[in-house]
Structure 1
Amino acid sequence: MDSATAAAAQFAELQEVIHNILVTKYTYVAAATILFWDIFITFDQEVSRVWLTRNSLGRTLFLVNRYVAPALFIFDLIYQLHPSPSMTVSDHDRFQATWRLTPLYCKNSFLPPSLLGIAALGSVEFILVMRTYALYQSKLLLAALTLLCLASVAAMMGSTIYMHNNLVTNLPLGAIPLVPGCPTSCTSPLCRTLLIVFWIPFFVLETTIFGLTVWKSFRSFHMTGIEHSTNLVTMVYRDGLIYYIVIMAISITNLVVWIVAPMSMAYLATSLMRCLQVTICSRLLLNIRGILEPQYLTSQISTIGFSREGPVVKSTMDTEVSAVTLVRA
């Protein structure tokens, strides 16, 4: 009876693990769907407001933010959802040899996209840093926020590399019944701590940027009045508020999951967070260029030529990244 009870408990635990892993994989699919759909419905704006401008730092940051994430999601979907059909042992061995989905391959395939994803997140943060700098026009503030951004990226990469090399266990394809892709496991109590530490610098940076934006908006609206604020200024503050609320909400969700949920659900909300960061940041930049486009095209009409490539509009960092140097304290 005791052995039967233990077997039933192990089976129930296995069922829970399978369910949690599958739900996490489904969130990857949902997040990828949101990301690709947003790119599809805003591609015409991207062409007119980004592709037809000359190369600049702002344009480069936009394109990195826009297209590195989809490439990573494609890789993640292959990594997470590679089918594991029913096979005999010998067939399974040949299948693994053909596709190289061994534990070593799964382990080596996990780290590079994770680090690249952190670098892409760093580009999002740097865009926000540049917007904040444009509000204050302070090189000291720019240096401080840049250092905080670099510290955030370094902490994320450091914890990821340490977990990958010392704590995370990668299982072979088909090791867990009904679960596709490369299953990962981290049973050490240190995993939860590192996952929480992973986001602390990011949370500090986001909160600092939001606080600086709120303070600047309060001073600006207090001096000029909301009714006299331009559409550009109002839109910059509005989008910054929306970005912070959404990202902090999903960040807190991540922290709660890491603290109270089983480790099999540790990455439940990470893909959604990556998707929302990229999507909202892209919309923020497109909105800025959309508001500036009429006045900018009018002021630069002499620089527009007609050719088979279409018009080329000169652009600056203000129009590409923030365009909020028009704001004065």
Structure 2
Amino acid sequence: MSSDTADAIPFRSFERLRAETYTDAAAAALLIWDYFLTFDLEVSLMWPSEWSIIKILFFLTRYLPFFDVTLVMYYQIKPNITEETCRRTYEPAGWLIVIGIIIAEIILVVRTWAIWGRGKRIGYALLAASILAVVPVLVIENIFLKSIVFSPHPGPATPGCLLTSANPIIALSFVVVIVFETFVLVLTLIKGVQQCKLRNHDIILLQALMIID
């Protein structure tokens, strides 16, 4: 790579690459640590249970992260990696991350639907909200991944993919997820308050009956 090309790459791109590498490495370590901390619970609670959609979703959200983390660490630390290889690993890693998030959100939606007694109205509301959240996220992710531009490193021994340009629209996907999870949180809080009031009412009624007796 010529010195002119190296000078054309902003130094902040190298700083961002190193920061992303350290962050991803820390996240990978936390993932492995959490896995071993909870493995005994998985064996005792999930393995003996009957197969269901929820069980399948659990194992998908449990083990898919190991695939995308492997891809991420590969393109973050491999030296002398080409721009084409960067794209071929970055795109599937990005889609795996999105799929993992969607699966986790589905589990959250099912849980919320369950605490609301699996009512039809709340089920339709959660389904509509899920569609309104998932479709934009998929569209945004596609636009983002198609816009990414990698640049070669100044030296072949420099590890990682140097992402120098991408559509900032990806930030909108986080906004969509935050809005969706806020909606689910509000539903959960409403049901929690209702259950708390009902429990307090039952306690007061029981105390009154004890006094009468």
Distance 1:21 1:214, change over 3 A: same
TM-score by length of 2: 0.82
- 1:17 deviates by 3.0
Q: Does 1:158 align with 2:139?
A: yes
Q: What is the letter of the counterpart of residue 156 of structure 1?
A: V
Distance in structure 2 (CA, Å) of the matches to 1:175 and 1:150? 44
Distance 1:23 1:226, change over 3 A: farther
Distance 1:47 1:226, change over 3 A: farther
TM-score by length of 1: 0.55
Among residues 141, 158, 162, which one is paired with 1:183 in the alignment?
162
- 1:146 deviates by 2.4
Q: Does 1:129 align with 2:125?
A: no
- Counterpart in 1 of 2:190? 215
Distance in structure 2 (CA, Å) of the matches to 1:176 and 1:195? 30
Distance in structure 2 (CA, Å) of the matches to 1:58 and 1:204? 24
Alignment of 1:3-42 (within 5 A): 14=11, 16-42=12-38
- 1:177 deviates by 7.8
- 1:163 deviates by 2.1
Distance in structure 2 (CA, Å) of the matches to 1:130 and 1:159? 25
Distance in structure 2 (CA, Å) of the matches to 1:198 and 1:50? 32
5+ residue gaps, structure 1: 1-6, 85-100, 229-329
- Counterpart in 1 of 2:207? none
Alignment of 1:244-255 (within 5 A): none
- Counterpart in 2 of 1:43? 39
Q: Does 1:138 align with 2:138?
A: no
Distance in structure 2 (CA, Å) of the matches to 1:132 and 1:225? 22
Q: Does 1:114 align with 2:94?
A: yes
- 1:227 deviates by 10
Q: What is the letter of the counterpart of residue 223 of structure 1?
A: L
3-state DSSP class of the match of 2:161? coil
Distance in structure 2 (CA, Å) of the matches to 1:148 and 1:27? 32
Alignment of 1:253-268 (within 5 A): none
Instruction: Determine which structure has greater relative contact order: mean sequence separation of CA pairs < 8 Å that are 6+ residues apart, divided by chain length.
Output: 1
Q: 1:18·1:176 contact (CA, 8 Å) conserved in 2? A: no
- 1:67 deviates by 0.3
3-state DSSP class of the match of 1:52? coil
Number of matched residues?
Answer: 197
5+ residue gaps, structure 2: 204-213
- 1:175 deviates by 4.5
- Counterpart in 1 of 2:77? 81
Distance 1:134 1:158, change over 3 A: same
Q: Does 1:203 align with 2:144?
A: no
Cα distance per residue 1:70-127 (max 9 Å; x no partner): 111011101111124xxxxxxxxxxxxxxxx432232232212211211111111011
Q: 2:151·2:162 contact (CA, 8 Å) conserved in 1? A: yes
- Counterpart in 1 of 2:49? 53
